Structure 1
Amino acid sequence: MSPVVIFALFSFLLGAAVGSFLNVCIYRLPAGESVVSPPSRCPACGARIRPWHNIPILGWLILRGKCRDCGAPISPRYPFVELLNGLLTLALFLKFGPSPTFLVLFVFCSALVAVTFIDLDHQLIPDVISLPGIVVGFACSFALPWLGWKSSLIGIVAGGGSLLSVARLYELLTKKEGMGGGDIKLLAMMGAFLGWRSVPFIIFASSLIGSVIGVTLMLVQKKDSKLAIPFGPFLATGAVLYIFFGKTIITWYLTLGAR
């Protein structure tokens, strides 16, 4: 096999392996448990998962989606998260190659995967991910010429400040809380990793996607506008879209407007 194929395969396996750890974070962080110890165990009976059953994706298939000890079903979300993170890591490698940008965005996107599923489950974005993420993103900006510390710093302020302003305005007009602080910190983290130019794109893309999905769910479930939908997954989707297609979409839009 060529070196490119070997590195591509390695990137997928790396992403899937980290995806296995993300499953631990998704389950334990909201509960305030350590992600280091105890070792992986069955949520139903507490039996320790054997190392060969903990192989990303394959382990779940070997067990046929059931605990070997008690037979309790194991959610297919576990292999899905591993597969998703593996494919996302592979896509990053194919776009950026073996570079500092690949490594930084690999860490960033893995964090987004964890945030997405935690927010879907608990409507919560843990500070233990977003706040250190802001610091890490800003620190990495010094090593990435395309980003730069100034753009990262402005991105932090613009990301957090824009959503904070929207949240405060909504509360002022409706006397209700419409956006949690987790979303504000998450967008600040995105600005740190991707720079200030990403912020308008992420806000627009996430709002558009969220509106379409929100209206669709309300129509399908026949519920009113009070239906609570976490915004974190839409922000994460907007950030990933910016990484892979942001420049292309922005150029297309500007070209369309110039006609």
Structure 2
Amino acid sequence: MDEWLIIAALLAGAILGSFLCLVIERFPVDADGRRWLARICHPASACSMCGHRLALRDLVPLLSWVILRGCCRYCHQPISRYPYYLESGTALLLALIAFSCPPPALFAWLTLFSCAVLVLSEIDRRHLLLPDAITLPLLWCGLLFNWQLSPLHLQQAVAGAICGYLSFRGLNEIYLWLRKQDGMGLGDAKFFAALGAWTGWLSLPLIATLAALIGIVVWLVSRLKGQKTIRQPFGPCLSVAGWSLLIAQHGESDWFSFIV
């Protein structure tokens, strides 16, 4: 194991996490892709309290928050810890991928997948929404990823995308017929289709089972805390299950081998 590779992955993850935080914070609720892209590019980052434009030294991932002790350099008001947590989480994800020892090309694919599901999870947690602007490109990237592996992988990926969408869409139609209301959004069906495109149709039952178990645990914890949630986002549960399975499929480490 190359320790320098892990360190490089941590640094790259922190930088990516800083960008992903911007992407999430500027997400428009109407989920218009062009408007979202425009908001990401403009305006420049500024303090949410005083509106002062942040300099490059204020945007160094992780270090800026620690050096400034969680306060704005200009108005000295407390800064949200959210960017710090997201940057740390992204760094950890990339370090785990690097620890599984994939080839450089595969590392790039897994990093792309990890960033996408991380953004989807956080947006779904905040807005109960999985935007097409990410789920649909993620699906096509999954097909392209498996196409460059082998024709057999591509066949399984296409079947995974179809089965993933139809299974969740069918469950929702049954729930709608029985309860006269949607049980899950179409975003969940599209996201499950994207996971099927990345992992293949044979992995879908395991992903759904793991996601359901994670969802039950989250629901129980929220109930123990006295929280009364009407709707629970399922995207983060699917993300954890799908990410774990994909790393288990393509990583060389034994850490995730118990999943598959």
Range with bigger deviation, 71-80 or 179-188:
71-80
Q: Where in structure 2 are the equivalents of 1:1-259 lying within 5 Å?
A: 4-31=2-29, 32-33=35-36, 34-145=39-150, 148-221=153-226, 223=228, 227-245=230-248, 248-249=257-258
Deviation at 1:70, TM superposition (A): 2.5
Shift in CA distance, 75/201, structure 1 to aligned 2, threshold 3 Å: same
Secondary structure of 2:201's counterpart equals coil
Cα distance in 2 between the residues matched to 1:222 and 1:92: 34
Cα distance in 2 between the residues matched to 1:100 and 1:142: 14
TM-score, length-scaled by structure 1: 0.87
TM-score, length-scaled by structure 2: 0.87
Deviation at 1:119, TM superposition (A): 1.2
Secondary structure of 2:43's counterpart equals coil
What do residues 114-138 of structure 1 show as CA deviations (whole Å, max 9, x unaligned)? 1111111111112111111111221
Range with bigger deviation, 213-222 or 188-197:
213-222
Corresponding letter in the other structure for 1:51? L
Corresponding letter in the other structure for 2:257? T
Deviation at 1:245, TM superposition (A): 4.6
Deviation at 1:91, TM superposition (A): 0.8
Cα distance in 2 between the residues matched to 1:201 and 1:244: 14
Cα distance in 2 between the residues matched to 1:27 and 1:131: 21
Secondary structure of 2:169's counterpart equals helix
Unmatched 5+ stretches in structure 2: 30-34, 250-255
Deviation at 1:156, TM superposition (A): 0.8
Aligned positions, number: 247
Corresponding letter in the other structure for 2:246? I
**Structure with greater contact order relative to length (CA < 8 Å, sep ≥ 6):** 2
Deviation at 1:23, TM superposition (A): 0.1
Cα distance in 2 between the residues matched to 1:30 and 1:45: 22
Cα distance in 2 between the residues matched to 1:81 and 1:235: 18
Q: CA contact under 8 A between 1:30 and 1:118: conserved in structure 2? A: no
Cα distance in 2 between the residues matched to 1:127 and 1:30: 13
Cα distance in 1 between the residues matched to 2:152 and 2:18: 30
| RMSD (Å), alpha carbons | 2.1
Cα distance in 2 between the residues matched to 1:222 and 1:156: 35
Shift in CA distance, 50/129, structure 1 to aligned 2, threshold 3 Å: same
Deviation at 1:146, TM superposition (A): 9.7
Identity %: 33
Corresponding letter in the other structure for 1:7? L
Deviation at 1:109, TM superposition (A): 0.7
